[in-house]
Amino acid sequence: MFVTEARWKHDRIISNGIKLHYVTQGDGPLMLMLHGFPEFWYSWRHQIPEFAKDFKVVALDLRGYNDSDKPPDRSAYVMDEFIKDVEGVIKGLGYEKCVLVGHDWGGAIAWNFAYAHPEMVERLIVMNLPHPAKFAEGLRTLQQLRRSYYIFLFQLPMLPELFLARSHYRAIGTVFTGMAVDKNAFTQADIEAYKQAAAKPGAITAALNYYRNIFHQKLLNRDWSVLEVPTLMIWGENDTALGKELTYGTEAYVKDFRIEYIPNCSHWVQQERPHLVNQYMREFLA
């Protein structure tokens, strides 16, 4: 492992019938962190020690990723299952609620979990993933459809797996360094960590199955009520996959909403500008 933080503990928990791996540090109220594609718990390496001062921080490997179980059936990678996973983790750790933090796919799960179980989310923090209603709206525009071309490519069988795995998972590294504004935000060790996680048997197909099930669920064509959970959105403005305009009007769907834009920053906001992200999180939680 590329992280030498001695106080971080690796553990596993059975939730929703599968074994999920996580890294944890600290004591106190629960802060649960959910990563995106093509990442794993390591995405939160800059946040874990900072918030472990006041929370029991748990950075999860989502199902299918890194050291968590990888159910073989494509049907295992749907939002209903992700929500049950999160619910089982919170209860399994002995808590009734948490501060829920999500980025990218983890942000999508966090939004949906907050709607399904608002009583279990004390505060919601979402990074570079729009409210589901705004994303659905965006996918009706040519601008966002162009940005989201990869979602449609990922629907193809086997070719995406072959592309991502070729040349020792070079494309995984390019996803980070290619999109980042500050290329120095990712060391070679960071890139190798992501490549190694992606290379674990079944991990790439599992990660792609998240996308392959998007159009078979009611994720993009349902009515969304006003969310009562206090919510912070943090947005790197130079996200090439998700346009900043997807954030406009989110306050219509969230009663207590706050947004912080970070200029000159990519989709990988909490890794590229960790000090500013941590500061905004601190201010919101205070």
| Catalytic machinery residues | 104, 211, 267
| Closest residue by Cα to residue 273 from 181, 179, 188, 177 | 181
The sign one gets for the Cα dihedral 77, 265, 54, 193 is positive
Give 178-217 as a DSSP string. HH-SSGGGS-HHHHHHHHHHHTSTTHHHHHHHHHHTGGGS
What three-state secondary structure class fits 14? Answer: strand
Residues in the chain: 286
- Provide the pairing of β-strand 56-60 with 257-262: unpaired
Give the Cα separation of 126 and 285 in Å (integer).
13
Amino acid occupying residue 258: R
